[in-house]
Copies of this chain bind each other. A is one copy, B any other.
Amino acid sequence: MSAVTRSFASDNTAPVAPEILDAIRHANEGDAVGYGRDAWTASAVRRFREHFGEATDVYFTFNGTGANVVALSCLVHPWEAVLCPASAHLQTDECGAFERFAGSKVIPVVTGDGKLRPQDLEPHLHSGHDEHHPQPRIVSISQSTEYGGLYEPAEIRELCNYAHERGLLVHVDGARIANAAAALNATPRAITAELGVDALSFGGTKNGLMFGEAICFFTPELAAGAAPFARKQGMQLPSKMRYVAAQFEALLSNDLWLRYASHANAMTTRLHERVRAIAGIRVTRSVRCNAIFATMDHAAVARAQSEFFFYTFDDVLPEVRWMTHWATQPEDVDAFADCLEAALTSSRVEAR
């Protein structure tokens, strides 16, 4: 077990990766004009265009909620609505930031596995085209999903086609797009822009950065007039932009994004192999990236949480979530699995 505290709560409990911190240090030379009119930002944007295509427009933001809200708000009028899975971060974990900033409605679509498919959308597209009803305008999905699952590329393509045929746009909340790309053995571009996705919140904070996300518009005319203003009005324009840009420059160089994400996924795979063998743990969702959802008895949850911090997603079952990240070490995983095993053994002893 490593000397440092390790948590299995979220990939945002991780420290900053050493290459990222180095990049920050290297950017810390002399003065730089604020708000993105600096060389680091220009370079990081070029890097994004290498990855996603020359037509990509990039806007860095402070955090993921900011990226989602600013991106979506550029693409809707206040009377237009966003359709998303009922489990979407946008719906469940952003405190209504989008509704407050955009004045628009989010329409949560209940789906069993947190993935949206055309047939899930269909019933929501008939509510009427007149002024009494918010007009569906964007479909927003998370890749990887909030439940640690994945859309296959063909699924995203099908969703994009379905949406575009109906005049809708597709946004991907890619807080964990790197984990998805790593798991699918594909580039980020191959699972977004190339499939028809219109806008992407490209995550940094959960993949080794200190802070920073990047909104990518793959059809720049969609938002070119709006995005700079929406970002500023949305309080997401960093004045010392070079420190966000330098982090992304590093992340997108030398396949760092892939290395961090692959490692995080691998640690989850290791944990999965251990916990599936532990009596009393039932893994409840398909494990594809860096999250495991599982049920175990209340007492065991409490015992394990006294040693390692993690979240209970459903108090009743209870269903818990375990996540790994770029810095999780094999010995951390083993220690955690041991802890879970011990917690469950105690439960069984008590239960006798």
By a beta-carbon cutoff of 8 Å, the part of chain A in contact with chain B is: 2, 4-7, 9-10, 12-16, 21, 24-25, 28-35, 62-66, 69, 77-79, 81, 92-97, 99-101, 103-106, 108, 110, 126-127, 130-135, 205, 210-211, 226, 228-240, 243, 309, 315-316, 327
Contacts and interface: CB of A to CB of B under 8 A. Distances in A.
A234 B30 contact: no
A contacts with B: majority SS: loop
A105 B101 contact: no
Contacts of A64: 239
A12 B210 contact: no
A14 B31 CA distance: 5
Given A96-B79, A126-B315, A237-B131, A31 B16 contact: no
Given A12-B34, A95-B132, A103-B100, A238 B62 contact: yes
A135 to B, nearest CB: 7
Contacts of A236: 62, 235
A96 B92 contact: no
A60 to B, nearest CB: 12
A96 B30 CA distance: 31
Given A132-B95, A134-B95, A243 B210 contact: yes
Contact of A327 (B31, B66, B134): B31
B130 A228 contact: yes
Given A5-B31, A63-B239, A96-B233, 14 more contacts: A2-B30, A13-B31, A62-B62, A62-B211, A64-B239, A94-B233, A95-B131, A95-B133, A95-B229, A105-B106, A108-B108, A205-B239, A210-B240, A211-B211
23 contacts: A4-B30, A4-B31, A7-B32, A15-B29, A15-B31, A24-B24, A31-B309, A33-B309, A63-B238, A79-B100, A79-B230, A92-B127, A93-B132, A94-B232, A96-B105, A105-B106, A130-B228, A131-B228, A205-B239, A205-B240, A211-B240, A211-B243, A235-B236
A77 B227 CA distance: 11
Nearest to A69: B235
Contacts of A29: 4, 15
A268 to B, nearest CB: 15
A211 B210 CA distance: 11
B210 A24 contact: yes
B32 A5 contact: yes
A236 B62 CA distance: 8
A103 B96 contact: yes
A83 to B, nearest CB: 13
A66 B14 CA distance: 25
Lowest 10 A-B CB distances belong to which pairs?
A: A4-B30, A100-B103, A79-B229, A7-B31, A131-B232, A96-B105, A131-B228, A66-B235, A13-B31, A62-B62
A296 B77 CA distance: 37
A159 to B, nearest CB: 22
Contacts of A229: 77, 79, 95, 131, 135
A126 B104 CA distance: 24
Given A205-B239, A233-B79, A235-B235, A99 B95 contact: no
